[in-house]
Structure 1
């Protein structure tokens, strides 16, 4: 583990444009379809305000990676801690992401250092966030080599590793890993039956923490979304709305509410619910000032008032536009149903909202 505790919870410039080009899952097709129409241009940039500050590992943000790995006997891999604060207690292989390290490389390193095994990630299981300063990424995958660490090979990373049929009966460092273990079992079953789609981070450089939102709105028995206008030299292009995650934000949902206030004329009349993460963009190029992450989220938007039910919300037309794909696209109709998106989403857990 690169640092001590922290794996459990206890701009380079002031430019207002940030490149956010990767739209995941079905929205890759939506992006391509938009590019082929006369009234929609390349989805290439999103605007965030000048208050956003670049994030930097070991300075103002902490990324944690963890691995939940099952063997052929349906046992879970745990490691025995060597740190004085939790000596001889068991936990998932986990630790801090080092500068100039991708999330995938970080979790592979942590599993090897703490268990002696070679790990190949296949998908994110979930992402936990506590606002703009602490984020944990849990992966699942397979062991592809190595030797299980024994007490004879104990070091500062861990004392040993072992497989557990029932981790809850062990002397755990913290029980916060039990929901992750249960969630991974469900995730693996869905991946095996192809009822969900694996998701790993996309390599894309970013200096900020940015939340890019695909809003889902139902009205007149149709599915709508919202696009953000981007002024170009000769025409207007569109992208999905985006907002910066501030260090002071208690959760990503708080930043989405701030974005909604810019989009809707009466944002207080509507509520949001995060379906999950459709895509994650990160390169881990700390030496180039690129420790940021882009979260591509699917979010439902519903009315709080009977007078607005079934009606389309009024948007700020100077910056945003309601979009109904089947009307505007002849070649592609994206499936924006919640059921379809849930198959493509990784759960986002906002720890800052617990207990509120």
Structure 2
């Protein structure tokens, strides 16, 4: 291998190890030119099976048009009571829910949750971490935050408006008339995070970075018994990088993951084959990247970096991919991330 290739590989290993620390150091202008599994490829596969593609190859996410980002906050006071909002909307007036809102065009996710909490509860909120991301198909995402109250005044009935009727802290939200009971598992999940914080992932917010579309980057780790280390799958086309695919807005994230894994382990022809895919398990998100579209020719993109534990590294690979190993420090970081699913930001498909 020539010295320039070694330097490029070393650079990629450094980037992987940065991701293990929750940091992105790549250049998005270059990185997303190297998409390994695009919508066009996914549509070609569907057409080959006699299935009409449901989305254009040229799909571009625009908030308010074809992609939805929801932000929700789980906030506790010193008595471990949770902040709840009484809804004012006609469709659910009088029912209760966590403070939440839709992200608006040209709005950061953190700005959106601060705005929503203030409007609905009267309180100033400082987000500390995203603890969970939920998705429905590849164009609807809910980001669940925890954080602290830094000021404001709790909204009472006398301050009711179109945003909410009132807000209050409650010990047991399950006793309220809820807009949806799907908030209850989120509340318990947040309680668990605070109880077990030292053994869970460290606080992590959105990495502000312009992303030109909806993507999923994979950190696929597999234990190699012969060398006593984990191997990490990388693409070596153009320049080494972690495998990255475009999220299909008409499919769930895990459906796209399944197709991408079939592509990666389909052998040299790259034809997806489920029989060739080794046993694997998605563990959680290591990084979330987003910035709003600042110009009309830009999109409201998102990149989720997903950690995947793969049982065997000897399965046949697409010719554009290979395995590499990390430094001693990188291996230690990886082992820690693999030790528990709580070491990464939770992700679930609704």
Alignment of 1:215-234 (within 5 A): 215-220=220-225, 221-231=228-238
Question: TM-score, normalized by length of structure 1?
Answer: 0.79
Q: SS where residue 283 of structure 2 aligns?
A: strand
Structure with greater helix percent: 2
Name the counterpart of 1:123.
129
Q: SS where residue 227 of structure 1 aligns?
A: strand
2:282 is the alignment partner of 1:279: no
| Offset of residue 247 of structure 1 | 1.3
Alignment of 1:76-225 (within 5 A): 76-191=82-197, 193=198, 195-220=200-225, 221-225=228-232
Cα distance per residue 1:197-240 (max 9 Å; x no partner): 11100011012110000011123253111001231xxxxx2111
| Offset of residue 281 of structure 1 | 0.2
Question: TM-score, normalized by length of structure 2?
Answer: 0.80
CA contact (8 A) 1:26 1:335 kept: no
| Offset of residue 350 of structure 1 | 0.8
Task: Give 2:333's match in structure 1, choosing from 329, 335, 345.
Answer: 335
Structure 1 Cα separation of the partners of residues 15 and 232 of structure 2: 17
CA contact (8 A) 1:52 1:244 kept: no
Task: Give 2:275's match in structure 1, choosing from 250, 268, 279.
Answer: 268
CA contact (8 A) 1:119 1:144 kept: yes
Task: Give 1:53's match in structure 2, choosing from 59, 67, 76.
Answer: 59
| Offset of residue 290 of structure 1 | 3.1
The 3 A distance-change label for structure 1 pair 311 and 54 is closer
Unpaired stretches in structure 1, ≥5 consecutive residues: 1-20, 35-41, 232-236, 303-309, 352-356
Cα distance per residue 1:66-111 (max 9 Å; x no partner): 0000000100000100011111111000111000001100000000
2:294 is the alignment partner of 1:301: no
Structure 2 Cα separation of the partners of residues 29 and 205 of structure 1: 17
Structure 2 Cα separation of the partners of residues 92 and 247 of structure 1: 27
Name the counterpart of 1:27.
20
The 3 A distance-change label for structure 1 pair 332 and 219 is closer
Cα distance per residue 1:4-31 (max 9 Å; x no partner): xxxxxxxxxxxxxxxxx97575536999
Structure 2 Cα separation of the partners of residues 29 and 93 of structure 1: 27
| Offset of residue 53 of structure 1 | 1.7
Structure 1 Cα separation of the partners of residues 292 and 23 of structure 2: 28
RMSD, aligned CA:
2.6
Q: SS where residue 124 of structure 1 aligns?
A: strand
Name the counterpart of 2:250.
248
| Offset of residue 190 of structure 1 | 3.0
| Offset of residue 140 of structure 1 | 0.3
Unpaired stretches in structure 2, ≥5 consecutive residues: 1-13, 41-56, 268-272
Structure 2 Cα separation of the partners of residues 119 and 331 of structure 1: 36
| Offset of residue 44 of structure 1 | 7.7
CA contact (8 A) 1:22 1:28 kept: no
The 3 A distance-change label for structure 1 pair 341 and 23 is farther
Q: SS where residue 168 of structure 1 aligns?
A: helix
Cα distance per residue 1:30-56 (max 9 Å; x no partner): 998x9xxxxxxx978531424352100
CA contact (8 A) 1:298 1:341 kept: no
CA contact (8 A) 2:23 2:287 kept: no
Task: Give 2:318's match in structure 1, choosing from 316, 340, 344.
Answer: 316
